[in-house]
Every structure is written in structure tokens, then in C-alpha cells.
Structure 1
Amino acid sequence: MRILKLSRTFLAGAALALSATAAFAAGPAPFTATYQVSRDGEAMGEATITLKSLGNGEYEYSNQIKGTSGLAAMLGANTSDVTRFRWNNNAPETETYHSKQSALKTKQRLMQVNWNTRQVSVDDGKGTTSYAATPGMVDRNTMPLAIGLALQGGNQSVNLPVGVKQRVEQQQFKVQGTEAVQVPAGSFQAERVTRTDSDKHFDAWYVPKKFALPVKMAQSDGGDLTLQLVRYSTP
């Protein structure tokens, strides 16, 4: 009788593990996350990040930052980063990335990846740059999401090929430990992840069992900004 109970327990656990693996293989769950954005400790805006499924393994990942206070509000500073990616080999893979920044003037960048020819083209309005794509490549917009999804898959170190203006950078990230973090969304025991291959500042605090995105992130690439989670919802 005891053997039968153990067998049932084992089978139930195996079924649960297979279910979780199948769900991860099917792709990430859509969500909407709102962040408080600050620079040098001063609140300057709000970020709304959404992930939408487009069907057939295609996703749209959008990060919209609006200046709501201080100089950012006075200048009407807004940024829009929109990526379309495919879910391939249990990870995101960028297909297009469009970045737009507006304040006193507007800056734009469009990245397109042709996976048939494995070529990347980047146009920032000053001419087009082309280079070879790397399997599993993401862009700077989807990089925090790609890290979070890798952590949810059980990884403690993450090597990511990230497409930038003129090449693919092999960026490396590692969990440095667990820390208590207080953000508007609440208090969390979070895994602190840092970038280890560059002196570009990147610190992010993840709670993989709850969220695909960090509850807090501070980085110098693309602006010295700190984002703190306010709310996170799924459909």
C-alpha cells in the first residue's frame, strides 16, 4: 500500500514537472508591468512594459516610458521601444526592434533580422549598418526579459548574444546572491543579477517564481535610470 502511495506521488510530481516544462516550451505568458522611473534618486516618469502573444510563436514586447515630472515632463520626454520576437529553442529571438526617443529632438533606430539569410540591418537615420546574426540573438530592449526567462528556467548565469548598432555583443550576466528589496509593489527576497563582462553598470533584482521581469533594475546603457516595479498583471 505504501509503495502504491509513493508511486502515485512520484507520478503526480512527474506530471507537474512535465506540465511546467511544456508550458515553458510553449512560450512566455503575456503580462503588463508598470514601473516608477527615476534618475539620481529623483522620480522622472513611468514605464509601461507589455508582452503580447501574436500567435504562432510570435510576440510583441513593448517598453513605453513617459516623462511625468521635473525636466522630463517639461521637455515632453518620451521613449518607445518595441520588439517583435519569435520563441525559438525555448528562448526569445529578435526579428525587429524599433526605438524612438523624443524630447527637444527625435532619435530613432530600426533593427531588422532576416533569419533566412542570417543578416541584421540597423538604420538610425545616418545610414544602414549590416552584420551577421547569431542564433538566439536579442536586442537591448528584450535583454532584461531574456535574462528573467532564463532564470525561470533554472539558470544562475546567462550568456546572451545582444544585437547593437554595429555587431553582436556576447553579454554575460550572473546571479550574485539574494537580497531584500523594497519597491512600490512590495517587499521581496530577490536574486541580484549583474553584468560581468563589461564596466557598463547593470544591476537587476529578479523574483523568478513570480515575475519574468526584475522588480528593480539600474543600468547605465541607454541612460542612467532606475526602474522599480509598481504593479504586474497577467490576462
Structure 2
Amino acid sequence: MTRFRKLAILSCCAFISNVTLAAQSSWQPIQPFEAHYDAYFKGISVGSGLRILKRTAANTYQASSQAKVLGGAGMSYDETSQFRYDGEHIISEGFKRTKKVLLGSQKIVGHPDRNGGLFVSGDDKRQHVESGAWGNTLDSSAFMVQFQTDVKNGKTTFHYHYVEGDEIKDYQFKIDGQETITVPAGTYQTIRLKRINKGSRETFMWLAPKLDYQLVKMQVLRDGKRWSSMALTQLKLDQPSTATSSTNE
């Protein structure tokens, strides 16, 4: 190998290393927030939702999600998740979820294993959900924060394995375009993402960069017709100067 070729290879390696370090140093997590939503079924308001992200220590967070349908008389759930970041990836440190329906209730508890998976217990049933090619297995609250974080940091492929109650979800998304949308909280320029799946059901999510990539709308279509959706009504961010819930674009 000639000296010139050796120098060229070394220069190329140094360039790649510098690019990688720059990308790592520019990575940013989602800021703590409190987001309120209205829920709709076929365009009719049926309930409300709440998502909260808190920083409990330097690298430890608590994410909680709540939802009520018909004021809680129809269905409600409450989930609390503890997690930390390992580089760009979220590591679950456990979660608790309670779901109430007309005929009873269900309680699910998740504990981490040592390899990015979860032990999930509920209703006298215990299962081990391992990590895999998609990365770590998360609960549904931590999954949504990881999704927002990935979009915020410029990723273009999205694959997640997460636990919702006692069900295991395997979701992939793709960027479907940009769109200006209006929700009760205001009008925002958003990134529209679509779930990759087969069948007649389509799921879309709209994230607003100005709101620290907060979810401002989610919609499910069945056979091309509106089925269910949720829309942002109020938002509080840790950095109020970034945006307010009454700001219109």
C-alpha cells in the first residue's frame, strides 16, 4: 500500500469519526412537558387524555399517560413509566398500568431484565419480552418518548417493540410529509408520520418541531374513513420560550 493511499484512508477514517462525534454531541432528549388532549370517535368527542414527562434525576425520567372515555364511565387507564437514557436509547426501569372497563379492571406491572427486555406480570400471568433487532423493549409511555426523541434527532427509520397492557406491539413508521394543521391548541407546521402495516387500518401521527416535537394529533382510519383521533388542547413545556399552547403559526 502506497504512502498516499495510507494517508487517504487515515483521513477518511478521521472524517467519519469527527462526523460521528458531532452527531453524538448534537443529540438532544425531549424536554419535560405536560400535554392535554381531546379524544374523538368518528368525529365525536368522547374523552380526554393526559401525558406528562418529568425529569426525576440527571438521567432518569418518569412518563405518565392517562385517558378517560365518557368521563371514565366507559373506559380509563393510568400508566406510569420509569426510564433512563443510554446514549440515544431509552432503557425501561419498570412501569405500572391500570385499566378499568365496565366489567372490571386490569393491573399490569413491568420490571426490566438485564438485557433491554421486560418481565411483565398481570392477571396471574407472567411473560418475558426480550429485546431484539428493533432495540430495547419499552412500555407504551416510554415508547412514545423514544419516538419523539428519534424524530427530533433526525432519524428516518422507526421500529419499536413495546408492551401495551399485556399485549406486545411491533410498530414501524415512516415520514409521510410535512403539513400545517390546526388543533384546539393552535395551528402548527408538523411532520406527518405513518405507520407501516398491511390491511385497511392506517395510523398517522403529527409532531410539531416548534413544540419540541410534541404529538399534536393522532388519527386512525379504517377503510379510508375516519375512525378515532386525538388532538392537543393544551401544552406546558419546561422551556416556555420555545412555544406556548396559544401560539399560532
Normalized against structure 2, the TM-score is what? Answer: 0.72
Which residue does 2:108 correspond to in 1? 109
Distance (whole Å) between structure 2 residues aligned to residue 183 and residue 122 of structure 1: 36
Q: Does 1:231 align with 2:234?
A: yes
Q: Percent identity?
A: 19
Q: Which residue of 28, 31, 37 maps to 1:29?
A: 31
Q: Which runs of 5+ in 2 are unaligned?
A: 1-21, 222-226, 239-249
Distance 1:145 1:112, change over 3 A: same
- Superposed, 1:105-144 pairs within 5 Å as 105-114=104-113, 116=114, 118-134=116-132, 135-144=135-144
Distance (whole Å) between structure 2 residues aligned to residue 198 and residue 96 of structure 1: 31
Distance (whole Å) between structure 1 residues aligned to residue 66 and residue 72 of structure 2: 18
Which residue does 2:17 correspond to in 1? none
SS of residue paired to 1:143: helix
Distance 1:108 1:225, change over 3 A: farther
CA contact (8 A) 1:194 1:204 kept: yes
Instruction: Give, in angstroms, the shift of residue 211 of structure 1.
Output: 2.9
CA contact (8 A) 1:145 1:213 kept: no
Q: Does 1:202 align with 2:203?
A: yes
Aligned residues: 207
Distance (whole Å) between structure 2 residues aligned to residue 80 and residue 166 of structure 1: 16
CA contact (8 A) 1:119 1:132 kept: yes
Which has the larger displacement, 133-142 or 27-36? Answer: 133-142
Distance (whole Å) between structure 2 residues aligned to residue 124 and residue 219 of structure 1: 28
Q: Which runs of 5+ in 1 are unaligned?
A: 1-17
Distance 1:28 1:185, change over 3 A: same
Structure 2 letter corresponding to 1:181: I
Instruction: Give, in angstroms, the shift of residue 198 of structure 1.
Output: 4.8
SS of residue paired to 2:211: coil
CA contact (8 A) 1:30 1:234 kept: yes
CA contact (8 A) 1:148 1:208 kept: no
RMSD over equivalenced CA pairs, Å: 2.7
Instruction: Give, in angstroms, the shift of residue 137 of structure 1.
Output: 2.8
Which residue does 1:188 correspond to in 2? 188
Which residue does 2:15 correspond to in 1? none
CA contact (8 A) 2:94 2:111 kept: yes
Distance 1:198 1:209, change over 3 A: farther
Instruction: Give, in angstroms, the shift of residue 128 of structure 1.
Output: 0.7
Normalized against structure 1, the TM-score is what? Answer: 0.76
Distance (whole Å) between structure 2 residues aligned to residue 144 and residue 39 of structure 1: 21
